[in-house]
Amino acid sequence: MKLHKLKHLDLSQRSKLSDLGLFMISLNCSKLENLDLSWCWKLTDVGVHSVVRHCSQLSHLNLCGVVKLLGRFLRDIPRKLPYLESLDLEQCPNIELSDLQDLLRKNTYLVIKEYNGDQVRMRRATRKNKCLAAQKERVQITF
């Protein structure tokens, strides 16, 4: 059954929801605007990445407490989710703050909650940070 017109879906606390199940939902619910997957403990980056790829209308994505996430899906958000306004990653222990700040730099209107529930802010470009970035760019590996 295809649910193409569905816009809001709350699957919070569905402890048995798997990446495969989420993949099937993302294929059949491509018009989703609001998706709550909070405390779905079995989900990984694979399942969330399928949402990012197939649900381009999303404006709100709640991933609070999805503890297996590593953040690999984050890099595709700027291209695949142009309408995303809020991303909740509270209690996701394996997501790096620096990755969230990078995402925020690409999507300045996006509101992101990090592990502690605080809103992610962009890093200030200090002279030290600029020097470190320049050094990273200059590193070359020779054999």
Predicted local distance difference test score (pLDDT) of residue 63: 98
- Residues ≥6 apart with Cβ < 8 Å to 1: 28
Q: Stretch 100-122: mean pLDDT, rounded?
A: 93
pTM: 0.83
52 and 73 Cβ atoms separated by less than 8 Å: yes
b/e 11-26 (16+ beta carbons within 10 angstroms → b): beebeebebebbbebb
Lowest mean pLDDT among 16-25, 59-68, 109-118, 134-143: 134-143
Q: Which CATH superfamily is domain 8-138 in?
A: Ribonuclease Inhibitor (3.80.10.10)
Predicted local distance difference test score (pLDDT) of residue 44: 98
> pLDDT grade, residue 127 (50/70/90)?
low
> Is the pLDDT confidence value at 143 over 50?
no
Q: What is the DSSP string of 79-134?
A: HH-TT--EEE-TT-TTS-HHHHHHHHHH-TT-EEE-TTSPBP-PPP--HHHHHHHH
> Is the pLDDT confidence value at 117 over 50?
yes
Q: Tell me what percent of the residues of the chain surpass a pLDDT of 90.
A: 80
Q: Which amino acid is at 43?
A: L
Q: Residue 29 is encoded by which pair of tokens?
A: 């619910």
| 86-88 and 60-62 strand pairing | parallel
Q: Where are the domains of the chain?
A: 8-138
> Is the pLDDT confidence value at 6 over 90?
yes
> Is the pLDDT confidence value at 2 over 70?
no
> Is the pLDDT confidence value at 65 over 70?
yes
Q: Stretch 98-127: mean pLDDT, rounded?
A: 88
